[in-house]
């Protein structure tokens, strides 16, 4: 195997144009890591934030940096001979950039506990769209907001990458889901399980909604004070879970004044939870939607698309043939 690989790397913070295709050293697998040949990588808002100097950027200690937390690919090297994920196994998962080198590359070395077998029902492109978004949605909806039968749950930006999983998980566990989204996504959101869809361009949710038990906030106050306005429809003692990094600095104080529970959420690359999601994907109870697929060389265009804020489902970077 060659000692170098192609990667879409950045050498400084900036716009999408700072991403460039270059040759870098291929990662060396150590200890309980897997070496994976990447076929496809998910594109997420945190990638664009980090590239721009926000998000996880403070954790960068040296350049060049390779972004991309989630991926689908094929095992090249296993930790040991009896490991369940042997060379040739199709896998998917996520790591944590910049603590590790990312998936915008031909190879990555990653903790085996963050990786599981790829669902056979999914292509590599579809699988790469799942880990970060689905694990984030699961953590917010199932682990933190405790989705259950009879619960009224408001999910903002329901048609986005995290949002379309959040709607499905909440509905799967019996919650009455109210999703905000655009008119063009209304029927699709209902197909995913939303009982009600509010067109944010036509109505103000806080003026028409009866009280809800939980809010999944995937916007924060970066658009029309969505997070703060959500407190007006959250019942006393209810829970609001905020996702986007830095999107609601005054969360704690506002929630305390409103008498509700508020928390941020940060995703963990947990393979055991991803295995549960895999079973839901295999059964058809949950599905992933890929809006656009970009060639490896077009990573900058993918970042421009994710920054537009109008993606339905997920964007994926195709790194190689499966």
Residues of the chain with CATH 3.90.180.10: 4-130+288-318
pLDDT of residue 310: 85
Q: What is the pLDDT of residues 280-313, one digit of tens each?
A: 999 999 999 999 999 999 999 999 999 998 899 9
Q: What is the pLDDT of residue 133?
A: 98
- Of the chain, the end-to-end C-alpha distance in Å amounts to 18
Separation of alpha carbons 39 and 76, rounded Å: 12
How high is the pLDDT of residue 309?
A: 85
Model confidence pLDDT, tens digit, residues 14-38? 999 999 999 999 999 999 999 999 9
Cα separation values, 108 from 69, 101, 155, 158, Å: 10, 7, 34, 31
57 CB-near residues (< 8 Å, 6+ apart): 13, 49, 50, 51, 98
If pLDDT is split at 50, 70 and 90, which confidence band does 85 have? very high
Quick one: which of 287, 172, 156 has its CA closest to 229?
156
**pTM of this structure:** 0.97
pLDDT score for 1 = 62
Q: What is the pLDDT of residue 190?
A: 98
Answer yes or no: is pLDDT of 116 > 70.
Answer: yes
Query: What's the CATH architecture for 133-264?
Result: 3-Layer(aba) Sandwich (3.40)
Cα angle 271, 273, 277; round to 5: 110
Assess contact for 87 and 100: CB atoms under 8 A: no
Mean pLDDT to the nearest integer, 65-94: 98
- Taking Cα atoms as reference points, which of 305, 282, 303, 310 lies closest to residue 20? 303
Q: Residues 87-96, buried b or exposed e (16+ Cβ, 10 A)?
A: eebbbbbbbb
Sheet architecture: strand order including 261-264: 196-199, 176-181, 152-155, 212-217, 234-242, 261-264
* Domain 4-130+288-318, CATH class in plain words: alpha beta
Tell me how far CA of residue 189 lies from CA of 50, 156, 186, 265, 280, in angstroms.
29, 12, 5, 23, 18
Q: Shortest CA distance to 79 belongs to which of 36, 41, 49?
A: 36
Q: Each residue of 147-180: pLDDT tens digit?
A: 999 999 999 999 999 999 999 999 999 999 999 9
Average pLDDT over residues 186-190: 98
How far apart, in whole angstroms, are the C-alpha atoms of residue 190 and residue 204?
19
Q: How far is CA 253 from CA 256, 257, 281, 295, in A?
A: 5, 6, 39, 44
Q: Where, residue-wise, is CATH 3.40.50.720 in the chain?
A: 133-264
């Amino acid at each position: 195997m060659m000692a170098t690989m192609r990667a879409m790397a950045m050498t400084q913070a900036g716009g999408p144009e700072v991403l460039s295709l270059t040759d870098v050293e291929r990662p060396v697998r150590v200890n309980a890591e897997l070496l994976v040949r990447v076929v496809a990588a998910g594109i997420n808002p945190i990638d664009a934030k980090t590239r721009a100097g926000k998000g996880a950027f403070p954790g960068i200690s040296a350049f060049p940096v390779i972004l991309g937390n989630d991926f689908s690919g094929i095992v090249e090297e296993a930790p040991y001979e009896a490991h369940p994920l042997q060379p040739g196994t199709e896998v998917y998962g996520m790591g944590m950039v910049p603590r590790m080198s990312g998936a915008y590359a031909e190879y990555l070395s990653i903790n085996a506990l963050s990786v599981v077998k790829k669902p056979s029902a999914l292509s590599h492109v579809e699988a790469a769209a799942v880990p970060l978004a689905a694990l984030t949605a699961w953590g917010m909806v199932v682990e933190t907001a405790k989705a259950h039968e009879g619960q009224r749950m408001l999910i903002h930006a329901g048609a986005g990458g995290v949002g379309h999983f959040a709607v499905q998980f909440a509905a799967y566990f019996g919650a009455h889901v109210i999703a905000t989204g655009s008119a063009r996504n209304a029927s699709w959101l209902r197909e995913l399980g939303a009982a009600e869809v509010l067109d944010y361009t036509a109505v103000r949710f806080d003026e028409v909604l009866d009280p809800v038990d939980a809010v999944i906030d995937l916007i924060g106050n970066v658009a029309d004070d969505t997070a703060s306005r959500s407190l007006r429809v959250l019942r006393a003692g209810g829970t609001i879970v905020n996702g986007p990094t830095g999107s609601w600095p005054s969360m704690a104080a506002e929630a305390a004044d409103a008498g509700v529970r508020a928390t941020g959420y940060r995703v963990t690359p947990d393979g055991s939870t991803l295995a549960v999601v895999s079973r839901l994907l295999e059964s058809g109870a949950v599905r992933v939607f890929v809006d656009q697929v970009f060639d490896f060389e077009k990573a900058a265009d993918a970042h421009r698309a994710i920054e537009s804020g109008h993606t339905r489902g997920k964007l994926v970077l195709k790194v190689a043939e499966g």
